[in-house]
Chain A
Amino acid sequence: MGFYVAQILTGLANAGALFMVASGLSLIFGVTRIVNFAHGSFYMIGAYIGYTLMQTLPGAIGFWSAILLAGLAVGLVGLIVEVLVLRPVYKAPELFQLVATFGVILVIQDLTLMIWGPEDLLGPRAPGLRGVVHIMGEPIPKYDIALLVITPFVALGLWYVIARTRIGILVRAATQDREMVGALGVNQAWLFTGVFALGTALAGLGGALQLPKGGADLLMDFNILTAVFVVVVIGGMGSLPGAYLAAVIISVVNVFGVTFLPQSTLVLIFLVMVLVLMIRPYGLLGREEVAGEHGQVGEPEVPIQPAGRRSRALVAVGLLVLAALPLYGSSFIQVLATDIMIFCLFAASLHFLLGTGGLVSFGHAAYFGGGAYVAALLITHAQTPMELAFLLAPIGAGLAALIIGWICLRLTGVYFAMLTLAFSQLLWSLVFQWGDVTGGDDGLVNIWPADWLKPTTIYFYFSLILCVGGILLMRHIAHSPFGYSLRAARDSERRAEATGINTRHVRWMAFCFAGVLAGLAGGLFVFSKGSIFPNELEIARSFDALIVVFLGGVKTLAGGVVGGAFFKGVEEILTRFEYWRLAFGLLIILVVTFAPQGIVGSIRKIFDRKVETRS
C-alpha cells in the first residue's frame, strides 16, 4: 500500500513542471493560434537561467527567488521573441508561423550551447529540503512534497487570472474571436505579446522548478515537447484543469511504468493516450476545435493548376541538366545531388499531405525513417536480397501510415498534428529502446545496395528516376479526381461530404500515399548511406520537412521540391561552421519575415507584379 502511495506522490510531484509547460503552450495556442514549437526551448533556458541564478543567490531565499526570477527572465525573452519574430508573421498564411518558431528553437539551442557549454548541469538541491520524509514507511524526497504543494497553487493562481481578471476575460474572448476583440477597441498586438510572455514565463518556471530533480541539458527542449503535446492532447487544448489532470495522469503512469516496465514507459503513455482519444476525441476536458471560423487572414486562394507549357519546358531543361550531371560533376557532387533528391521526395510527400490534403502532420519522419528501418531490419536479420528489402520499404511505411492514419484521422486540425507527432515519437522510442533488434542508438550498419547498384553514378540515376517519378506521380494525382476530392475535403469538409465524398476515407488514402512515398525516400536513403540511426525518426527530422514545405510555399505545387533543394544546399554549406544552428535559425527567421509566401510563392508574386505593371 505504502509503495503505491509513494509512487502516486512522486507522479504528482513530477506533474508540476509538465503542467506549467503544457498550460503555457495551451494558453498561447488559444489566443494566437500558434503551436509554439519553441516552447520546450523556453523550458530549457528556464532551467539554465535558474541554475546560474542559484549559483549566485545564497540560501533558501536565493533558491526560491532564483526560480521566480528564471520564470520572469524567460517571460522577458518570450516577449522579445514575440515582438521581433512572431509579430511580423501573424498576417502570414496559416501555420507559417510554425517555421518562425523552428528558427527560434535553433537559435536558442546554439545560444544555450555558447553560454553554458555542452556539459549537462546537475541541478542544485533545494536548501532545507535535501532529505526525505517517510510516508507509510516509504521515503519521499522533501522537494517532491514541496512541488506537490506548489503546483496546485500555481494552477489556482493561473485559473484566477484567466477566470476573474479583465486580462483573463480578454484572453478568453480572443481565443474565440480575436477580430471582434479588436473591433471592440482592444489592441490585439499587445494582448498577443502579453499572453506569449505569460506562456513562456510558465515554461521557464517549470524548467527552473524541476532543476533539483532533473538538472539542465541541451536535449531538454525536444524531450519535454513530446510529453507536453501528449498532455495537451489528453487534457484538451485550451483547458487548464484538463492540462493539470493530464499532467498528473501521464506522470503517474510514467512513474509506475519506470518501476514495472522500464523498457516501455513511452509505449505505456501512448497507450493511455490512444485510449483516452478513443473515448474522448478532443481530450478529457477539451472541446472540438473550431478555429478559423472568424478572423481568418490572408487573401482567398487561387486554385493550383497543372504546369503550363513554359514551366514544363523549364522543368524538362532542369531535368536534362540534372541527368547530365555525371558528365560534369565529381562523384562527391553526385552523392550530394542524390541526397538532395531523396530529401526533395521526402519533403514533397509531406507537401502533398499538407498542401493538397490540408493535413498538417508534425511527425512525417516516422514514414521516412520507418521505411529506412524496414529495409535495414530485413537486410540485417533476414538477409533479404536488397531489391526485395528496398521494395518493402515503402510498403512497410505505407502500412504504418495506414494504422497511424486511421487513429489520427479521428481528429482534425491541431489535435491531428500533435497526434501524428506523438506517434512518430512512439516509433522513435521503440527503435531507440529496443536495442537488441534495432541496435538502439548505435543504429544498423552495412546496409549496402546490390552489386549492380553500387557505383555512385548508377545509384544516382536509380534515385533520379524514382524521385522524379514519385514527385511527378504526386503532381499527377493532385490533378486527378482523387486529388479533386482531397482538395474539396480540405477546403470545405461539410460541402465535400454533402456531395458524397467520404472525406475521412479520402484523407486516409492520402495519408497512406504520402507515407508510401516517404518510405520510398527512406529506402533510397538507407542504401545510399549504408546505415541508419534513430535520428532519422526523431522530431527534428519531421521539423526539417515541415520547414522545407513552408519555406518552399505550401500553396504552390513546386514548394516541397524547391524548399528541399534550398534547405539541403544551405545545410551543406552551413554545417561546416561551429554554430551553424544559430546561423540557420536566423536565416529561417529572416526568410519567414521577408517572404511570408514561401520561396516559390514570393517569386511568383514578384513575377505577377511585373506582368501586371507591364500590361
Chain B
Amino acid sequence: MLQVHHINSYYGKAHVLNDLSFGVERGKVVALLGRNGAGKTTTLKSIMQIVVPASGRIVFQERDITRLATHMVAKLGIGYVPEERRIFTDLTVIENLEVGRQPPREGAVTWNIEMLFDLFPNLAERCKNRGKALSGGEQQMLTIARTLMGNPILILLDEPSEGIAPVIVEQMVRVIRQIKTEGLAVLLSEQNLHFAHAVADEALIIEGGSRKFYGSLDDLNARPDIRDSYLAV
C-alpha cells in the first residue's frame, strides 16, 4: 500500500533521514521504533510531505506522492495524527471533528460522528466542550477521531501513548486493533515497546535516520541484541 524508497530528508543542513526504505501493507500495523531524535517524526512528516524529502520516492497505492502538497496527500487517504496532539483548542470537540471531515472514499470505512463517539465514549460526553478543556488523554482520542473523519486508508500515528494514563493507553490499543480489522493500515511511531507489542505486526527500527532492523515482531523478539542496542534507554 505504501512504499518508501531510499528517502533522504533534511532540516536545513541537518541530515535527518538517511536512505530510508520500507513498506506498509494493507491491514497491517507497522511499529516505527527508535530513540528520541532517531528520525521517527521526520519519517511521518516526510510521508505527509510536511518535510519534503530531498531525494527518494514515496509511493502510495501505485501513485508517486513525493513533492505533492500536504493536503493532496491527505486527500489520497493518508491520515496523520501528529505528536503533541495539535487539536484546535479554541474549537469544540464537534468542530474539531468537522475540520477533519472528507468525502467517503472507496476501500475505506466511512466514519461519522456517531461511530466515533461509540469508539471514544468520553468524547461524546464532552462534545460541546472546547479543545482546551479536555484532558491529555481526551485530546489524544480527539486527534485520532479527527483523523478518522477523513476516512483514511493508512494512518500515521506519532507516539500516541506518550504522556497518557495507562487506562487510556489500553483504550488506544483496542481502537488500533479495531482499525486494523476494518482493513486499514497503521504506521505507528513509538518508544513504548509494550504498546508496540500489543498492536504491531511488523517493526522498523531506525537510529540516526537509518534503518537498523525491518521485520516481523517475532523476528525482533528473537534478536534481543538489536533491542538492546537501539531501543534500551
Contacts and interface: CB of A to CB of B under 8 A. Distances in A.
Interface residues of A, number: 22
B82 interface: yes
A160 to B, nearest CB: 15
Contacts of B91: 169, 172-173, 176
Contacts of B146: 184
A457 to B, nearest CB: 49
A186 B71 contact: yes
B164 to A, nearest CB: 19
A327 B150 CA distance: 73
B75 A300 contact: no
B60 interface: no
Given A183-B50, A184-B99, A177 B74 contact: no
Contact of B74 (A166, A173, A185, A300): A185
Interface string B133-154: 0000000000000110010000
A186 B146 CA distance: 13
B143 to A, nearest CB: 9
Given A183-B82, A184-B74, A185-B74, A166 B98 contact: yes
A170 interface: yes
A180 B131 CA distance: 15
A176 B50 CA distance: 17
Nearest to B103: A185
Interface in A284-302: 294, 299-300
B213 interface: no
B95 A187 contact: no
B86 A294 contact: yes
A177 B88 contact: yes
A170 B95 CA distance: 9
A181 interface: yes
Interface string B69-97: 11100110000101000101111000110
A169 B70 contact: no
B149 to A, nearest CB: 8
A99 to B, nearest CB: 24
A166 B149 CA distance: 14
Contacts of A182: 69-71, 74
Interface in A179-220: 179-189
Nearest to A300: B12
Most central of B48, B71, B82, B86 by chain A CB within 10 Å = B71
Interface in B159-215: none
B102 interface: yes
A183 B48 contact: yes
Nearest to A179: B50
Interface in A85-127: none
B89 A185 contact: no
Given A173-B88, A176-B89, A294-B86, A184 B98 contact: no
Nearest to A181: B99
A189 to B, nearest CB: 8
Contacts of A176: 88-91
B88 A172 contact: yes
A182 B96 CA distance: 14
Contacts of B150: 184-185
Given A172-B90, A177-B88, A294-B86, A183 B99 contact: no
B75 A180 contact: no
B28 to A, nearest CB: 22
A299 B12 contact: yes
A335 to B, nearest CB: 45
A482 B139 CA distance: 42
Interface string B44-71: 0000101000000000000000000111
Contacts of A173: 88, 91, 95-96, 99
A185 B90 contact: no
B75 to A, nearest CB: 5
A173 B50 CA distance: 18
B23 interface: no
Given A185-B74, A187-B71, A188-B71, A180 B86 contact: yes
Contacts of B75: 185
Nearest to A185: B74
Contacts of B90: 172, 175-176
Nearest to B70: A182
A299 B13 CA distance: 9
Nearest to B84: A294
A169 B89 contact: no
A180 B96 CA distance: 11
B99 A186 contact: yes
B88 A185 contact: no
A183 B74 contact: yes
B50 A185 contact: no
A180 B45 CA distance: 11
Contacts of B70: 179, 182-183
A110 to B, nearest CB: 35
Interface in A125-180: 166, 169-170, 172-173, 175-177, 179-180
Contacts of A169: 91, 95, 98-99
A83 to B, nearest CB: 16
Nearest to B76: A185
Nearest to A298: B12
B80 A183 contact: yes
Nearest to A189: B69
B100 interface: yes
Nearest to B11: A300
A432 B48 CA distance: 56
Contact of A170 (B11, B74, B86, B99): B99
Contacts of A185: 71, 74-75, 100, 102, 150
Contacts of A170: 99
B73 to A, nearest CB: 8
Contacts of A179: 50, 70
A184 B50 contact: no
A187 B95 CA distance: 18
Nearest to B101: A166
A154 to B, nearest CB: 23
A149 B8 CA distance: 60
Nearest to A187: B71
A173 B96 CA distance: 8
Most central of A169, A172, A189 by chain B CB within 10 Å = A169
Most central of A166, A173, A175, A179 by chain B CB within 10 Å = A173
Contacts of B101: 166
A166 B99 CA distance: 8
B147 A184 contact: yes
A180 B99 CA distance: 10
A450 to B, nearest CB: 53
A231 B125 CA distance: 39
Interface string A295-339: 000011000000000000000000000000000000000000000
Given A182-B74, A186-B99, A294-B86, 6 more contacts: A169-B91, A172-B90, A180-B86, A183-B48, A183-B82, A184-B100
Q: Which 3 interchain pairs have the tightest Cβ spacing?
A: A185-B74, A300-B12, A182-B70
18 contacts: A173-B96, A173-B99, A176-B89, A176-B91, A179-B50, A180-B82, A182-B69, A182-B74, A183-B70, A183-B82, A184-B71, A184-B74, A184-B99, A184-B146, A185-B100, A185-B150, A187-B69, A189-B69
Interface of A: 166, 169-170, 172-173, 175-177, 179-189, 294, 299-300
